[in-house]
Structure 1
């Protein structure tokens, strides 16, 4: 069994195929100053308050989950996974931390292990998670479905996360820092091609504390349409069927629930609802959501 296959299943799984002598060589207490950060670390932001909380826990209970390392230059080790634990251990002023040495991991596998380990721990922010998926796809020529299998996610989850990377870097920074929620970011994707409107909606969300639903309504409103109280020079004929704004609101709600593109096509009083899917698995997912 490969190290990658047992990642996240604990020390026993990582050392299950090793004899006693090899276990002692691979699992040991390492001088904390000999561990170098992983240059391929996908995490960018570390919450200072949460690090302090982890450091307090480590002072009381120690580092329960060993760090994963490979041999580095000289008498040093390079971190594969566990940078939060390493940083918190330094805050707790530990001199040694438990590690598992993965000598078989080359540079490429080290990156893949680090990416997968961070994703599976579910404490990346939405942008870091999307970037980790993108790196897995780009560096290892993986499809969205293959990435999903490696990290235990649905393909649709990978696809929706990757869409966040289409936002401008400034908006991505807002999401990464927690100023904007992932839900707000998905709403902003609807106006990403209109730079001025995107900035306007973003500012309203932050300045007025708009909910995701309020932001949806704001983005659904055509910028050239008058408000209800605006006067009009001439009467406008009321078309048969549902109002376009109502259809657009419904489409947004369904898209957010199903995580797929939705289209309502009106034909007088009748019409049809179109739900886009991207693969057989995605179709099965949509059917499951509709029938549940």
Structure 2
């Protein structure tokens, strides 16, 4: 039943002939509507919200908001927060609503949440939180959720994995500071907080592509510790480690990339890493000045 009515709007939630439409659909005072604390969306794009307000200004609110009735003649929003916010931006005192009674069956409430997920362009983190709510509140598996929202199970699984990232990185995704693709790559280093933070900072500072980020995350970190019986003893002709470390540190700060000195007796080589053709051009420009 749920799958067959998805996409039909809130009208699909209401029996066709068994209720008085006047009791369920009316113009409601916006001040009597409270937002849903369980709303999956936490970030609202101001530009898109203004576009919706412009559309409402021209055509009105075509799709009613879905609410439940609470005490003291007040209502809690189930679906339609963007429409409510846009209406308030325009100074509208009333909006059209459809009331879902407390006695409505659990399937209808579940459908209302699914409709809310499908109707709005939630960012990946909000989408993951919405899927989690569906699974926890309605005892659904990932396979169940995939069928109900019309997506592949692998899509659900991949989106849910983003919740394993630390809150600061999740907030970056919500605000659009980094993309979902970057976030997926950062999952590879989620168990190394320092490295994750370092890569995240480089994504933003150097505007790294997803592919460049992948290359960084797949590199094996250099280990400073070596077993005592395998510590390489420098030859008398090699440069002191303290000097090499100072040079590496200075070049790293100047070039903003990984630098390494490899010694072979009196000889050696200086290795400077780059992560894309643009990054190589940047380094060439710095080295030629």
Please report the TM-score for the alignment, with normalisation by the length of structure 1.
Answer: 0.72
1:171 is matched with which residue? 169
Find 1:137's aligned residue among 135, 138, 145.
Answer: 135
Say whether the 8 Å CA contact 1:70–1:105 is kept in structure 2: no
Following TM superposition, by how much is the alpha carbon of 1:108 offset from its aligned partner in structure 2, in angstroms? 6.6
What is the DSSP-based 3-state SS (H/G/I as helix, E as strand, rest coil) of the residue aligned with 1:93? coil
Tell me the residue number matched to 2:8: 9
Whether the 8 Å contact between 2:13 and 2:108 is mirrored in structure 1 is no
Counterpart residue number, 2:237: none
* Deviation at residue 183 of structure 1 after TM alignment: 0.1
- SS, match of residue 99 in structure 1: strand
- Is 1:7–1:14's contact at 8 Å kept on the other side of the alignment? no
1:177-234 deviation digits (Å, cap 9, x = unpaired): 1001000000000011111111110000000000001101111111228979753549
Name the CA distance, whole Å, in 2 between partners of 1:114 and 1:15.
11
User: Gaps spanning 5+ residues in structure 1: where?
Assistant: 235-292
Shift of the 7–24 alpha-carbon distance from structure 1 to 2, 3 Å rule, reads farther
Query: 1:188-207 counterparts in 2 under 5 A?
Result: 188-207=186-205
Supply the distance in 1 between the matched residues of 2:131 and 2:43 (Cα, whole angstroms): 17
CA contact (8 A) 2:10 2:66 kept: no
Greater CA deviation, 112-121 or 69-78?
A: 112-121
> After the TM superposition, which of the residue ranges 117-126 and 66-75 deviates more from structure 2?
117-126
Q: Which residue of 2 aligns with 1:231?
A: 262
Which deviates more from structure 2 when the two are superposed, residues 211-220 or residues 7-16? 7-16
Deviation, structure 1 residue 7? 5.2
Matches within 5 A, 1:117-266: 117-224=115-222, 230-231=261-262, 233=264
Query: In the alignment, what sits opposite 1:38?
Result: 36
How far off is 1:8 after superposition?
A: 3.6
2: distance between equivalents of 1:111 and 1:65? 18
Give the drift of 1:162: 0.6
8 Å CA contact 2:78, 2:113 repeated in 1: no
Q: Which whole-Å CA distance do the structure 2 matches of 1:178 and 1:37 have between them?
A: 24
What is the CA RMSD across the aligned residues, in angstroms?
2.7
Which residue pairs with 1:49 in the alignment?
A: 47
Structure 1: how far apart are the matches of 2:264 and 2:209?
Answer: 34
Larger radius of gyration: 2
Q: What SS is found at the alignment partner of 1:186?
A: helix
Which of the residues 70, 86, 89 maps onto 1:88?
Answer: 86
Rounded to whole Å, the distance in 2 between the matches of 1:94 and 1:135 is 32
Contact 1:41 1:114 survives alignment (8 Å): no
Deviation at 1:45, TM superposition (A): 1.0
Q: How much does 1:112 deviate?
A: 3.6
How many residue pairs get aligned? The number is 232
Range with greater deviation from structure 2 (130-139 or 85-94): 130-139
Change (3 A) 1:144 1:164: same
